[in-house]
């Protein structure tokens, strides 16, 4: 049986976007983020985080640094009752990278749909029951290119935003 899923951008949706976040001590949760993901988990959604991480290509931090952050977010969300199924990230930047193998045009950097399509390839998801929440038009464009609905989150309380999209039982 196909699953329903929500795709969330990380910076600007789950956490406040201060730019190139990789230090746990600098993480600042978006208001209502933990509660929103716990709510979506209770509603039966698989939760995928899809995030551009060009700071890796730019040499600001490493994949390992980012992974530590993602592991921390996963643990914190689990403690709040939320289950993140998987993180998908793009480490590339076509023009501003200093690491040659990451300074490429790719299919995974939003607004391209590669991260979302990868989840569809790895999981049995019902497209008509999937959507994305992002804070940039490039997030919404990636969702639309993948054939799912995209919603633009402009800040505020993420739980209130999610509850408008997914009313409770």
Cβ(148)–Cβ(7) under 8 Å? yes
- The pLDDT value recorded for residue 152 is 98
Q: Which of 11, 65, 71, 139 is catalytic?
A: 11
Mark whether 71 is an active-site residue: no
- The pLDDT value recorded for residue 2 is 87
Give the predicted TM-score (pTM) of the model. Answer: 0.96
Domains recognised in the chain with CATH numbers: 10-115+143-165 (3.40.50.1000)
Mark whether 135 is an active-site residue: no
Cβ(164)–Cβ(40) under 8 Å? no
- The pLDDT value recorded for residue 57 is 97
Per-residue pLDDT tens for 44-86? 999 999 999 999 999 999 999 999 999 999 999 999 999 999 9
Confidence of residue 26 (pLDDT cuts 50, 70, 90): very high
Confidence of residue 169 (pLDDT cuts 50, 70, 90): low
For every residue of 30-64, DSSP letters joined together read: PTTHHHHHHHHHHTT-EEEEEEE-HHHHTTSS-HH
- The pLDDT value recorded for residue 1 is 74
Q: Which of 9, 17, 71, 139 is catalytic?
A: 9
């Amino acid at each position: 049986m196909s699953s329903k899923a929500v795709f969330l951008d990380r910076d600007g949706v789950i956490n406040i976007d201060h730019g190139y976040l990789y230090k746990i001590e600098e993480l600042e949760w978006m208001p209502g983020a933990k509660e929103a993901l716990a709510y979506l988990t209770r509603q039966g959604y698989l939760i995928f985080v899809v995030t551009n991480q060009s700071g890796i290509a730019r040499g600001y931090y490493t994949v390992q640094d980012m992974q530590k952050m993602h592991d921390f977010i996963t643990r914190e969300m689990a403690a709040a009752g939320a289950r993140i199924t998987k993180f998908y990230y793009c480490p590339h930047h076509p023009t501003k990278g200093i690491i040659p193998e990451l300074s490429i045009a790719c299919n995974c950097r939003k607004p391209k749909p590669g991260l979302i399509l990868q989840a569809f390839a790895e999981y049995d998801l019902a497209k008509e029951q999937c959507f994305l929440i992002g804070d940039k038009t490039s997030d919404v464009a990636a969702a639309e290119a993948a054939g799912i609905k995209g919603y633009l989150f402009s800040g505020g309380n993420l739980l209130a935003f999610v509850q408008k999209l997914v009313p409770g039982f």
